[in-house]
Amino acid sequence: MSFPTPSNTAERHALAGPRVSRDGAWNVPAITARPGGPAERVAARLSDHTAATIFMLVILSGLATLAALSIGLGFLVTRVLVHAWGLGAADERVNVWLAAHRDSTLGDASLVGSIIAGGVVLPIIAGLLALAFVAVRHWRLAAFTLFALGVESGSYRLTTLAVHRHRPSVPRLESLPANASYPSGHTAAAIAVYGGLVVLLTSKLENGALRAVAWTIAVAVPTYVAWARMYRGMHHPLDVAGGVVIGVLALVVVVFASRAADAAASR
């Protein structure tokens, strides 16, 4: 007696039933592949490779794509937008107004906003979280935490090598290269790290109020960081917008890579 063989992916998933989490309580829906979704299709096409290799292939291709997009947007800003429709002057006026209203209290607040998204604090946060996830043997969460910052940082660095924009014409409160205004790396990093943690957390939360609080924080922290960078005369509003693009898309890349790795490991 013979039995019919499932003819497509949907039928195979229907017969197999819901996917059983390999990570139990540590299963995070945000980085779990959806049956028949694009991450699973990518994993199927790369079925000759291990889950770790697929993760890195998606990360590298995503980084290259994001860097190219960011550089293109940078050229659009510096070569077109700042010279059209008075956008460059309006961009500068924001920084002039902020500089004219500086005081010691706001100065201290802007320093805090810069520190929490700086090149010392965020690597420490990401590194400690990754070590904690490794300790409980959840490799995808560890990789997500590290590579969210890594993809953001790589895209930012490549953009600054190609795109040069002078910082606002106001007294600057930090000594950094004057021609590296675009984009705001602090803003991008705040989204990648703090926003990434909220993405992971809220995908497991069922309480609507807690989800709302978490997303409010996810928006408030990068907004605070963006204000701090403009207040300190380090970036224009358009530079901050470029940082937002990098931060958000870096998360998209790492989420997709994590889901593709999950699909490959689940086969």
The model's pTM is 0.88
Are 165 and 77 spatial neighbours (Cβ–Cβ below 8 Å)? yes
> Across-strand partners of 1?
none
What contacts 137, CB < 8 A, 6 or more positions away? none
According to the model, what pLDDT value does residue 266 have?
Answer: 83
Residue extents of the structural domains in the chain? 49-266
According to the model, what pLDDT value does residue 223 have?
Answer: 98
- In the chain, where does DSSP find H-type helix? 9-16, 38-45, 51-79, 87-100, 104-115, 121-135, 139-162, 185-190, 196-202, 208-231, 237-266
According to the model, what pLDDT value does residue 9 have?
Answer: 43
CA proximity to 132, closest of 113, 114, 145? 145
Q: What is the pLDDT along the chain (267 residues), one digit of tens a residue?
A: 444 444 444 444 433 333 444 444 557 899 999 998 999 999 999 999 999 999 999 999 999 999 999 999 999 999 999 999 999 999 999 999 999 999 999 999 999 999 999 999 999 999 999 999 999 888 899 999 999 999 999 999 999 999 999 999 999 999 988 999 999 999 999 999 999 999 999 988 888 899 999 999 999 999 999 999 999 999 999 999 999 999 999 999 999 999 999 999 887
According to the model, what pLDDT value does residue 41 have?
Answer: 94
According to the model, what pLDDT value does residue 27 have?
Answer: 79
Residue 186: DSSP 8-state? H
170-202 in b/e form (b: 16+ CB < 10 A) is beebeeeeeebbbbbbbbbbbbbbbbbbbbbbb
Are 242 and 182 spatial neighbours (Cβ–Cβ below 8 Å)? yes
Q: Residues 91, 97, 98, 99: is their CA dihedral positive or negative?
A: positive
What contacts 48, CB < 8 A, 6 or more positions away? none
According to the model, what pLDDT value does residue 13 have?
Answer: 42
Tokens of 38: 């694009």
Are 38 and 44 spatial neighbours (Cβ–Cβ below 8 Å)? no
Are 71 and 158 spatial neighbours (Cβ–Cβ below 8 Å)? yes
Give 235: exposed, middle or buried? Use CB within 10 Å, 0-12, 13-18, 19+.
Answer: buried
Task: Tell me yes or no: is domain 49-266 CATH 1.20.144.
Answer: yes
Q: What are phi and psi of 165, to 5 degrees?
A: -135, 135
> Across-strand partners of 165?
180
Cα Dmax for the chain: 85
